[in-house]
Amino acid sequence: MQKDESTMSPVPEPRPSLAEAAADAASRRALARSPRAAFRHGVVQTLPFLIVIVPFALLFGVVATEAGLNIAQVMGFSVLVLAGASQFTAVQLLTDNAPTLIVILSALAVNLRMAMYSASLLPWLNEASRAQKAWISFALIDQSYALSIQHYERHPRLSMPQRLAYFGGTAVMLCLPWMLFSWVGATVGEAIPDGIALDFAMPITFLAMIAPMLRTPAHLAACFVAIAAALLLAGLPSGLGLLIAAPMGMATGAVVEARSDTRAAAQEG
Amino acid sequence: MQASDLTIWTIILVLGVGTYLIRWSFLGALGNRELPGWVLRMLRYTPVAVLPALVAPLVLWPEATGGAPDPARLAAAAATVAVGVLTRNVMLAILAGATTLFGLLYLLG
């Protein structure tokens, strides 16, 4: 199986390097941290991500307000859904006057990858209480997942309180700014006069999110098939083409990946 | 948009609950169950299939021009993708796209 940051296996594989990693200085520091210090460590390591989160949240607030949502609805999205790409997806489809069911299904599809995050964190957080797991689930976004899983795999001997505190630090520093700056963006958006070419803000945002994902032939194939199908099906009622084109792209990615796995295995054997 | 306040709030609530359940799935309910390989594979390619399918018609037939392909918007899309692929940086890609769009709209009048 190919290894990149989006293909974490659900169960961490034992690695020979873990024993050495635990012995080095960074690990000694990590293992010595009180939960409070582990929380602060999570906060500090999250700071660079604010360069993306803050403008992204501002943009969502502005674009959603321009599309016709009021501030309460913008905040409803950013607090209750708390998932940037799917929020943009829902607002775009609302703008296209797509049927409610299609808006919901498409935006949920964008979030399906989070089931993978949930599975991948479980071995590290299995001993947490039900309430703790419930809170983690609420704040499980791309960046809090990526930071935490890296931290847990780097320092496998962290105690449960240290793991939870680190996740808490990343989550607070990511989710609160997302909510706050969505609100700022919505406030600004209400003051922006209509007629500025903001219609294209959302397509540009989506393209910017997609481009860095095109890492492997399978990702490229999935993207290409999804685009071709979406363009061919563009005549269908709004949103329906997406609901057919997206699964075709997903299946293409899966097939291409399975094939390259088989080929790699054949070469090794 | 034509959606009523009630429709928008319904979408927000269903999306909020649904997204939460996706995040909670393995941590809270499914436990250490192994997912079949093909399910994991499909999950991996959801964003890279859904988002392009959503955006492709918007790029080719933008609403602002009544659906006619527009050189400024096509160039902006190309610049965004190029910078995104080269730098892997989402904000730089957005900046490149926005600069191209507003620059060309200004030049082409």
Nearest CA in chain A to B91: A52
CA pair distance A41, A60, nearest whole angstrom: 28
CA pair distance A172, A180, nearest whole angstrom: 12
> Given this model, what pLDDT does residue A70 score?
95
- Contact in structure between A166 and A189 (CB atoms under 8 Å): no
> Given this model, what pLDDT does residue A197 score?
62
Least confident of A33-37, A150-154, B28-32: B28-32
pLDDT, tens digit (0-9, with 9 covering 90-100), for B63-93:
778 889 999 999 999 999 999 999 988 889 9
State whether B55 and A214 contact (CB < 8 Å). no
| C-alpha angle A57-A82-A176 in degrees, rounded to nearest 5 | 60
- Contact in structure between A246 and A109 (CB atoms under 8 Å): yes
pLDDT, tens digit (0-9, with 9 covering 90-100), for A23-63:
578 888 888 899 999 999 999 999 988 887 898 899 999 99
State whether A52 and B44 contact (CB < 8 Å). no
Supply the angle between the helices A100-111 and A113-125 in degrees, to the nearest 10. 40
All residues of chain A having their beta carbon less than 8 Å from the beta carbon of residue B61 are: 234
CA pair distance A114, A120, nearest whole angstrom: 10
Mean per-residue pLDDT over chain A, rounded = 86
- Contact in structure between A186 and A65 (CB atoms under 8 Å): yes
CA pair distance A136, A152, nearest whole angstrom: 15
Question: Residue A81 is nearest to which of B12, B47, B54, comparing CB atoms?
Answer: B12
| Interface ipTM | 0.86
Amino acid at A181: F
pLDDT, tens digit (0-9, with 9 covering 90-100), for A187-210:
998 887 665 667 788 789 889 888
State whether A103 and B56 contact (CB < 8 Å). no
All residues of chain A having their beta carbon less than 8 Å from the beta carbon of residue B31 are: 122
* This prediction's pTM: 0.79
Amino acid at B51: L
| C-alpha angle A206-B49-B3 in degrees, rounded to nearest 5 | 60
